[in-house]
């Protein structure tokens, strides 16, 4: 755990989401006051229910596409749907969340003269032609595809962050988050780890899109949260963008086989058509995170899957109805 000398009041937008709720927990454990803001479009009150009576926790239901008038010392901007199933449901609103949301949190940070961190994504690299992906790579992104609302929205948010930094001197931090997994993922959010675990626990066929040779690198949520806090608490000269992810690379087929082995499932692997704009490779170059933040992931997927499977085993097997992963639940989600 990082050392800290003062108590801060911290705003976390998207704080009721999968990653956001873990970040809120960590900040509270370090003694900070936390204002959790979420419109609950994809966030879930169950993720923060255990904090209901915490003296340093406050929840505000609010959409970041509208201005927010609060007093805080730091801002973590995590507000945006991260699953294709969710962000493609209302693509215009997804772009607004990334762009208008960035403008609003940057305006707040400018007024308060406080640091603001943007949770960006490896999807800014698109279907990369460079592997692994370093921060200096500008990406290979389709600007008019079905995923563009998310990919280009996040790219535009990064532009706004750096323009506010150059034009107004705003202290910014930009983290490019690679595939993250762990407890509190929604069982039907379309992410590859949750899809495979839910299908395996229910004895259903595991759906692999394409031939399964596309690769991803999976970072356990506790490691990611540590990286986000290290980035926020780095000096004002550290702006990023900085990749945060686990560089250990797996094919989607290997992940499916590992989940079957871990769950002891009798599930069979079946193949379906690959969704549009699905990246063939995804692996972070984390040399900047290592040298600048002293950060690298410590939890390997074998251990992280055990914790994630235990979480899903409880909520899926206790559910009265079977969970069904969405159609075309793409295996490439960044966060």
Active-site annotation, residues: 150
In the structure encoding, which two tokens stand for residue 135, read together? Answer: 């921060």
Beta-carbon contacts of residue 193 (< 8 Å; ≥ 6 apart) = 179, 181, 185, 218, 255, 259, 305, 308
β-strand partners of 120? 176
- Contact yes or no for 245/215 (Cβ under 8 A): no
> CA 74, CA 184: separation in Å to the nearest integer?
24
Q: Nearest 5°: phi and psi at 64?
A: -70, -10
DSSP 8-state code for residue 124 = G
| DSSP string of 19-56, one letter each residue | HHHHHHHHHHHTT-EEEEEE--SS--GGGTGGGTT-TT
> CA 115, CA 204: separation in Å to the nearest integer?
46
In the structure encoding, which two tokens stand for residue 204, read together? Answer: 């259903």
Within 10 Å of residue 210's Cβ, how many Cβ atoms? 16
> CA 251, CA 289: separation in Å to the nearest integer?
24
∠ CA 77-247-241, nearest 5°, is: 35
In the structure encoding, which two tokens stand for residue 264, read together? Answer: 């002891």
∠ CA 249-253-259, nearest 5°, is: 90
Residue holding tokens 């000398």? 5
- Contact yes or no for 91/143 (Cβ under 8 A): no
């Amino acid at each position: 755990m990082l050392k800290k000398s003062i108590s801060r009041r911290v705003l976390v937008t998207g704080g009721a989401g999968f990653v956001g709720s873990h970040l809120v927990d960590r900040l509270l454990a370090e003694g900070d006051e936390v204002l959790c803001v979420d419109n609950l479009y994809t966030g879930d009150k169950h993720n923060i229910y255990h904090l209901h009576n915490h003296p340093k926790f406050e929840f505000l239901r609010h959409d970041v596409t509208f201005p927010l008038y609060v007093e805080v010392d730091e801002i973590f901007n995590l507000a945006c749907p991260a699953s294709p199933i969710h962000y493609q449901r209302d693509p215009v609103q997804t772009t607004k969340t990334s762009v208008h949301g960035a403008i609003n949190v940057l305006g707040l940070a400018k007024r308060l003269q406080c640091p603001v961190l943007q949770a960006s994504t490896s999807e800014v690299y698109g279907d990369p032609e460079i592997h692994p992906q370093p921060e200096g790579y500008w990406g290979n992104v389709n600007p008019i595809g079905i995923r563009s609302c998310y990919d280009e929205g996040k790219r535009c948010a990064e532009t706004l962050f750096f323009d506010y930094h150059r034009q107004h001197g705003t202290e910014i931090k930009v983290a490019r988050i690679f595939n993250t997994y762990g407890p509190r993922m929604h069982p039907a959010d379309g992410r590859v780890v949750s899809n495979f675990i839910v299908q395996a626990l229910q004895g259903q066929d595991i759906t692999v899109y394409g031939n399964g040779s596309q690769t991803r690198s999976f970072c356990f949520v506790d490691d990611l949260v540590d990286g986000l806090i290290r980035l926020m608490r780095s000096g004002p000269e550290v702006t990023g963008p900085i990749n945060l992810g686990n560089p250990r690379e797996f094919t989607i087929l290997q992940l499916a086989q590992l989940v079957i082995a871990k769950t002891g499932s009798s599930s069979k692997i079946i193949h379906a058509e690959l969704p549009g704009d699905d990246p063939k490779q995804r692996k972070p170059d984390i040399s900047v995170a290592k040298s600048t933040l002293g950060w690298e992931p410590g939890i390997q997927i074998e251990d992280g899957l055990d914790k994630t499977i235990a979480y899903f085993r409880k909520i899926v097997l206790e559910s009265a109805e079977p969970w069904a992963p969405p159609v075309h639940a793409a295996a490439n989600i960044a966060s």
